[in-house]
Copies of this chain bind each other. A is one copy, B any other.
Amino acid sequence: MKKIDILKKLRSSKLRPTKQRVEIAKFLFEREKTFHFTVESLNKLLLKKSISKIALATIYNTVHAFKAAGHLSEVEVRGNKTYFDTNVSNHHHFYDSENSELIDIDANEIVIQKIPKAPNGKKIKNVEVFINLKN
């Protein structure tokens, strides 16, 4: 992913490309594979990688703006912290509770044969499958 794409992500998230936001965006989006993280883990990784330390509030704000713009998704994981995901396509997860690790499962790797119909006036928005792992 090129710098121009980082700027696009920022602009489409209604964020001016400041030093901090570009650093966060590059860290999140300039990678091959999906990245699952919490604000805490992201903060720690940014501290190691970055020259300047970025305030937690800035990380929260930026991550939430990316989420609102659809550049990040939120994943439900057991525990009290909020997990984010750079993979915003419809997909599923393995969850390894030993080390609280999420692993992507491509949507076409799971086929559901039978599914109940939505209650009363409701419709199905999407289906998420979690495969919990053990050793």
Interface residues of A (CB under 8 A from B): 74, 76-78, 80, 82, 94, 96, 103, 105, 109-116, 118-119, 121-135
> Chain A at the B interface: mostly helix, strand, loop or mixed?
strand
Assembly CA distance A103 to B123 (angstroms): 14
The answer to whether B125 and A134 touch across the interface, beta carbons within 8 angstroms, is: yes
The answer to whether A116 and B122 touch across the interface, beta carbons within 8 angstroms, is: no
Assembly CA distance A125 to B134 (angstroms): 6
A79 to chain B, nearest CB (A): 9
The answer to whether B124 and A127 touch across the interface, beta carbons within 8 angstroms, is: no
Assembly CA distance A74 to B125 (angstroms): 23
Enumerate the 6 nearest inter-chain pairs by beta-carbon distance, A residue then B residue, closest first. A111-B114, A113-B113, A76-B76, A125-B134, A125-B132, A122-B133
The answer to whether B116 and A110 touch across the interface, beta carbons within 8 angstroms, is: yes
Additional 7 contacts, C-beta under 8 A, given A76-B77, A80-B80, A110-B114: A74-B78, A80-B82, A94-B122, A105-B116, A111-B113, A118-B131, A129-B129
